[in-house]
Each structure stands twice: as C-alpha cells, then as structure tokens.
Amino acid sequence: MAEACAGDAVVRCIELFAGAGGAALGLEAAGIEHAALCEWDPHACATLRAAGLGPVVEGDVRDLDAIAAVAGESCDLLWSSFPCQAFSAAGKRLGAEDPRNGWPWSVDALDRFEPRWFLGENVRGLLCHSSEGHPDPLKCPRCYFEGVIMRDLRARFAHAGYWLLDAADYGVPQHRRRVILWAGPAPLRAPQPTHADPATLAQGSMFGPRLLPWVSMGEALGLSASARVVEPNRTVARDVTNRPAPTVDTFTTRNGDKYEQAIRVIDGDVRRLTVDECAILQDFPPCHPWQGPKTAKQRQIGNAVCPPMSEAVGRIVVAADHALN
C-alpha cells in the first residue's frame, strides 16, 4: 500500500460508527491516521482491537467528551458511517423520525472537532424520494438529504457534494452501491474506477484497456467449475456465479428466530454462504480477526464498509489535503 510522502502532514481522522474496521482499513491504507475509532458494539470493538486498529472508543458517539479525551479537541477528517436503517429499503424507512438516525450526532461531532474534511457513508436509499413522505424532510429520505444533510454541510464547509459509488468498480467481488458524502476546503472529484463490466470492456471503449474486469463471486470464493451461486428472488433463482455478488447484507432473510444469508451455493449439496465467504465478498483481509458469536460476526460483516472503497475515497482526500499544504 502506498504511504504519504516524506514531508507530507499526516491526515488525522476521527471515525464515528466504526463497526468492525472496514472503513478504517481502507483509510489507513490511504495514509490516514486514526485519532479515534468510535463504536458502541462490544463485539465490533473487540474485532477492532484484535485487528490492531485504534485507538478504540467503546461507547455512544454522542459522548463527545469521551472521544475528545482520546483524540484531542480537533482532527483533520471526520468519517461517519451514520446508521442507515432510517433510510434503507430493507428497513421500515422511518427517515429522520427513526431514533437511530445518526446524522444529528454527526453534526454535533463536526461542531465539536471542526475538521477540515468530512466523509460520510450511507445506503443509496438516502437518495430516493418517498411517495408517502414527499416533500416532508422528516419523512422523505431524499428531501432530508437535500434539505438537511447537504444544508448542514454547506453551512460548515466551503465545498460539499456526494458520489454514488459501486464497490465492484474498485475490485470488490460484490455490487455494493453506497452514497459517499464529502465536504472540505476544496472541491473533490470521485475516485476513478479500477474495474468495470467485462461486457463494456469487450466493446473496446477508449477507457476499457485501463480497467480490469469486475471480480466475480466464483473467482473470489474459489468455487469449482461445477458450482453455482444462486440469488433467490420473487419468481426464479438467478445464477450470479460469474458476476459480482449482490449486496451482502446483515443476514436479513428470517427463518423463525434465526437470520440467514439468502444467497445459496449449489455444488452437489445446497448450502448458504459461510461467514468467512461473506467476509471475502466484502474484501476484508483473510486474517481479519472477527470476534463474538456467529450472529455478531454476521452483523459486523453485513454492516461493514468495503476497505477498497474507503481506501479509494481516502486517497482523494489525502491528495487534496496535501495540495493545499
């Protein structure tokens, strides 16, 4: 991994809702140093510590004094993967009225630590209007995004914007589309993809030779030629072996009181993806030390940021910060 050049100031980051370290791994690979990783889930905090990431602040992100006691009273970058249940299509979509909406807590941290840069990550449902809630920003995700989130960022930074990125475009064997919010003293351009749809590359686009083909599930999982990966849907199962995986979630297909991954692997017998296979599809290092019982590991993996995506985004901020200094 590339590191900051000699003489360049290191970008210090406070990360909110750090989870099991997906964003942290990518940001550190981009040359960013963590002043604090804030997370309330004890199993995720144990994973962070076992992975050598930190310093870890275990507790409520609203406890800004506890964060400051570890990180100090300022930072260069604030990253917030504020809870997405409020805006996810898989949830009840209560929007800003959801008590788990972590955006106001992120704004409090911005006002306390006054970073030069901000990066936020959320589900693409944040960009969707609600037919029932529109135009009320408390009930419509897109109205909340435009009328509250972007307004808050523009009130605090000279420049602000967002990108909708797909992790597959950065070498992750999974289609995971996420909204990346950014703000800072200079405008930022989205990171250039490193991978693309093989069909597009085969068409001989002028950009094609510079890009690698998407990484498929079968390739990433090392499946045999006879195996098939099947994504069940409402009508007929769809074979996704030779393409990036659909979004790996928090195992929300419910079977009684047990939450299970919906994707099936067919290779003689029919089985579900294992915890380790889902971690591979998130592009975590194979040695990442997941802590806790199986359900806790599943939750950590399903909620994680793919490290290659956060690395690509982090490199954009590091380059822009060094250009200003």
| For helices 294-302 and 42-50, angle between their N-to-C axes, nearest 10 degrees | 80
Q: Where are the beta strands (DSSP E) in 256-296?
A: 258-260, 264-267, 269-272
- Whole-number Å distance between alpha carbons of 98 and 85: 8
Any catalytic annotation for residue 128? no
Torsional class of 151: left (φ above 0), alpha (ψ -120 to 50), beta (otherwise): alpha
Q: Which of 84, 140, 278, 306 is catalytic?
A: 84
Tens digit of each residue's pLDDT, the chain (325 residues): 344 444 567 999 999 999 999 999 999 999 999 999 999 999 999 999 999 999 999 999 999 999 999 999 999 999 999 986 566 554 455 555 666 789 999 999 999 999 999 999 999 999 988 877 788 888 888 999 999 999 999 999 999 999 999 999 999 999 999 999 999 999 999 999 999 999 888 776 554 458 999 999 999 999 887 788 887 654 566 788 899 998 887 554 444 444 455 677 877 777 888 899 999 999 999 999 999 999 999 999 999 999 999 999 999 999 999 999 8
- Whole-number Å distance between alpha carbons of 237 and 231: 6
Q: Residue 252's pLDDT is what?
A: 46
By CB atoms closer than 10 A (0-12, 13-18, 19+), residue 254 is: exposed
Domains along the sequence of the chain with CATH = 11-196+301-324 (3.40.50.150), 213-292 (no CATH)
What count of other Cβ atoms lies within 10 Å of the Cβ of residue 227?
Answer: 15
Q: Residue 96's pLDDT is what?
A: 52
